[in-house]
Chains A and B, each alone.
Chain A
Amino acid sequence: MNLDERFRERELCTPLLEKIHRISRLNTRPMRIMEVCGTHTVSIFRHGIRTLLPKEITLLSGPGCPVCVTPAGHIDLCLQAARHPEVVLATFGDLMRVPGSHGSLADARARGEARAEVVYSPMDALAMARQNASVQVVFPAIGFETTAPTIAATVLAAHQQKIGNFSIIPLAKTMPGALLQLLSDDELELSGLLCPGHVSAIIGAKVYQPLVDHFGLGCAVAGFEPADILAGLLALLQQQVHGKARVDNCYPRAVTDQGNIRAQNLLAQVFAPVESEWRGLGSIAASGLALRSEYQQFDAVKRLQLSASQVPDPPACRCGSVLKGLLQPPQCPLYGRSCTPLSPIGPCMVSTEGTCAAYYRYGDDTAANFTTIGNHYSKNSC
């Protein structure tokens, strides 16, 4: 397996950094770059990239963590399903601690009110259904274009194998519409967009062209190793200095213009675009993925008669502004005080790729009174 180790080498990164510093001196305007993807946010912190950039470059984190943009009302759907006496909710780990309007899945499980198991793939959830005919296995389909094709493949497999005790809560979202909505907010004053590598591998680099055309915004598709990210930032800086916005594909080893056609076809076969609610961004047309009529029987919302409600964000929670890049996490009044990774109030603090969690874990902005907390809801490794 290629871990892209060489894209972490100093020999590759140092020249890129030198070039960024050199070109930055020619740049006369402030440089505000949004990294859309949570994996970028984490990678930037993990490799200490912020500490190496010129002061003039500000990096903002965008709405690129799927757990974070899922509104509390949709989390409640997952909780409702998990509380159903026949249901085992098979979920990605990130979701366990996300607070709904009345606590998280982890809380409900600890109280014995819900059954929830962590899985690493929707196919694992399907296997769980096959092996346990007496329970209904429900998989919360939360994710972007990166995760959705696997979910589509799982639904197809369930259909072919005629598995009657498997269903999904269709909550997956797609990126392009959300970006258009986000960028129409003038407050942001962005100079460039570091476009998500994994999502782009599926949808193709060409989808960003409308952002260039409508907003004159520079775009660079980048991978997740330090050299990838630096190459993306350098491309955006060069675009700004030359006054010419375009889509630069700085991740050609994974991303093409057209994207992964097979995955796109799979998505189109199983899902249809639908209006979807985003935390912080509101309702966005055609930005969600609903099951097509042929696969309705796998819709847990219908099967279990779950009902979503509009739940207001907790008072003082500023996740919405953080997701839009309008606020840096330490500027939120709850950050690091009442909202911490262990007792998160907003979703940005929960997911490992949430902006606030990344700041909290890697940043230097909080009071240093952390505590080490052990195992919370499942068995530890020893």
Chain B
Amino acid sequence: MNLPARITLDHGSGGLVSQELISGLFLKYLRCPQLRHLEDCALLEGISGQIAFSTDSYVVDPLFFPGGDIGKLAVHGTINDLAMRGARPIALSLALIMEEGFELTKLERIIASVAESSEAAGVAVVTGDTKVVPRGKADGIFITTTGIGRVANRVFISGTKARPGDVVLLSGTLADHGITIMTAQAGLEVGGDLHSDTQPLHRMVAALLDDVEDAVHVLRDPTRGGLATTLCEIARSSAVEIEVDEEHLPIRPAVATACALIGLDPLYLANEGKCIVICSPEAQYKVLAVMRALPEAADAVCIGRVIDGRAGRVNLRTRIGGQRLLEPLTGQPLPRIC
């Protein structure tokens, strides 16, 4: 089948040209049997327990960046959103909005990446949709993925469940994704190795639920807004104070350097493959051991504790022994002028 070099409005028409794109490109990579007959929806059987259901849209610029691309991000992001409530992901949907003129080679790379990541994660894309809008009405491609998962009836993991005495653990280094995107957008050649940390976390969550389920109170992935904003949300939802030790925060030197150069605070930059785990203090070492046994959380550390202080407050104990309040991110992080 000969596909043209660029996407045209016909590819979103639902007619023959759409069918050619789906069969000639999408089904070449996405091989779930559910997709084969191009039905209007997928049927999923035998789901017991609570159903977790989440959706997220991806508009990242640039589409391809060190460590990943929009396709990989779209798969991992939704898997992680499900996992953060203790769900075992079952299936994903994939919806694309493309701009007329979008290059097919790029689309193919993205779809191949979606297929590879969903296969590696063991969570299939079972349904999808494609739309095309006129040139200038979108920026290349936007992707929405929706996922469903299963949560055992007894499990209730929530941002409201942090309680005084709990410890705050982090699965790995901070700000890798955010700084990679910011430097790529700026076209900055920064020394050192910057790459996105995008990765699925559902296996790590499953391991925690298998081994230390009762001890785990909160799971959150600090994506947009970064660690600081996510901790503020938890502190507010749980009506507790959270104390964080700056000296325990893992930040790779290349990331710290790039942040200093552009004038951004790594505590406010996005992560796409990291997890905050808040658990009971007696289980701390067990939880850390379970996390560190997996490659996605090999650098897991304890970064702080939940205390019975002012509800909603997040206090950072700085490396030199001072105190600094962490507030939620306001607006877009802007690089400084000098």
Seen from chain A, the residues whose Cβ lies within 8 Å of a Cβ on chain B are 1, 3, 5, 8-10, 13-14, 17, 38-39, 45-52, 65-67, 92-97, 118-120, 124, 142-144, 146-147, 198, 226, 340-342, 351-353, 360-364, 368, 370-382
Contacts and interface: CB of A to CB of B under 8 A. Distances in A.
B229 A372 contact: yes
Contacts of B139: 379
Contacts of B247: 10
A66 B337 contact: yes
B46 interface: no
B338 A146 contact: yes
A362 B327 contact: yes
Given A360-B327, A377-B332, A382-B223, A48 B320 contact: yes
Contact of B327 (A13, A120, A226, A361): A361
25 contacts: A10-B319, A10-B321, A13-B320, A13-B321, A45-B324, A46-B324, A47-B318, A47-B324, A48-B318, A48-B321, A49-B322, A94-B334, A94-B335, A94-B337, A96-B334, A118-B335, A119-B186, A226-B318, A351-B336, A352-B336, A372-B233, A372-B330, A381-B224, A382-B73, A382-B270
Contact of A97 (B60, B77, B331): B331
Contacts of A341: 330-331
Given A46-B318, A362-B324, A373-B330, 11 more contacts: A3-B253, A46-B324, A97-B331, A198-B338, A353-B338, A360-B327, A368-B310, A373-B331, A376-B332, A381-B182, A382-B224
Nearest to A47: B318
Nearest to B61: A379
Contacts of B59: 379-380, 382
A353 B334 CA distance: 10
Contact of B316 (A48, A49, A93, A378): A48
B185 to A, nearest CB: 8
A343 to B, nearest CB: 10
Contacts of B323: 48, 51
Interface in B148-166: none
A27 B337 CA distance: 37
A327 B327 CA distance: 23
Nearest to B182: A381
B39 to A, nearest CB: 31
A201 B224 CA distance: 36
B260 interface: yes
Interface residues on B, range: 35 or more
A372 B336 contact: no
Given A49-B322, A50-B322, A94-B336, A382 B177 contact: yes
Given A1-B191, A120-B188, A379 B322 contact: no
Nearest to A12: B320
Contacts of A364: 325
Nearest to B181: A381
Contacts of B233: 372
A117 to B, nearest CB: 11
A262 B260 CA distance: 25
A143 B337 contact: yes
A90 B61 CA distance: 18
A340 B316 contact: no
Contacts of A362: 324-325, 327
Q: What 3 A-B pairs come out closest when comparing CB atoms?
A: A48-B322, A93-B334, A381-B181
Nearest to A199: B338
Contacts of A92: 335-337
Interface in B88-104: none
A382 B338 CA distance: 26
A379 B320 contact: no
A351 B312 CA distance: 25
Contacts of B313: 368
B96 to A, nearest CB: 17
B55 to A, nearest CB: 14
Nearest to B317: A48
B116 interface: no
Contacts of A65: 337
A147 B334 contact: no
Nearest to A124: B187
Contacts of B329: 372-373
Q: From B139, B323, B332, B338, name the one whose CB has the most chain A CB atoms within 10 angstroms.
A: B338
Contact of A381 (B270, B310, B336): B270
B138 to A, nearest CB: 11
Interface in B77-116: 77
B128 interface: no
Most A-side CB within 10 Å, residue of B73, B77, B263: B263
A372 B334 contact: no
B177 A371 contact: no
